[in-house]
């Protein structure tokens, strides 16, 4: 498995819209691109941190190409609510003890 950790710095006042679109986009990645799901967190400084899991690196790298047009539009809309999006880490899973 492959994991990616993102940080989203969301424009103040756009948090609810971002969260809604994040869920829709994540569901699209699961349904159309082989994504294994994600968790969204909010840290004490107001940034969102998401942990996403994929079967392998190639699935992550090619995921956007597999999304239908509506899902790509939702992804673009979600990104407009962000001042900055950072991939903090992308890495192979070596041992998985999450329940």
What was the pLDDT predicted at 70?
Answer: 97
Residue 32, pLDDT above cutoff 90: yes
Reading the block at residue 64, the tokens are: 């956007």
pLDDT of residue 99: 84
Instruction: Please give the domain boundaries of the chain with CATH numbers for all domains.
Output: 2-91 (3.30.70.100)
pLDDT at 26 over 90: yes
The reported pLDDT for the residue numbered 98 is 87
- pLDDT per position as a tens digit, 72-88: 999 999 999 999 999 99
Write the CA distances from 72 to 24, 29, 41, 42, 65, integer angstroms. Answer: 11, 10, 23, 24, 9
- pTM, two decimal places: 0.94
């Amino acid at each position: 498995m492959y994991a990616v950790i993102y940080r989203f710095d969301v424009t103040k006042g756009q948090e609810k819209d971002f969260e809604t679109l994040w869920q829709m986009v994540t569901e699209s990645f699961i349904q159309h691109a082989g994504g294994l799901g994600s968790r969204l967190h909010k840290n004490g400084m107001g940034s969102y941190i998401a942990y996403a899991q994929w079967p392998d690196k190639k699935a992550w790298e090619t995921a956007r190409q597999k999304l239908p047009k509506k899902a790509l539009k939702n992804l673009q809309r979600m990104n407009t609510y962000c001042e900055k999006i950072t991939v903090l880490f992308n890495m192979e899973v070596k041992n998985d003890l999450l329940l």
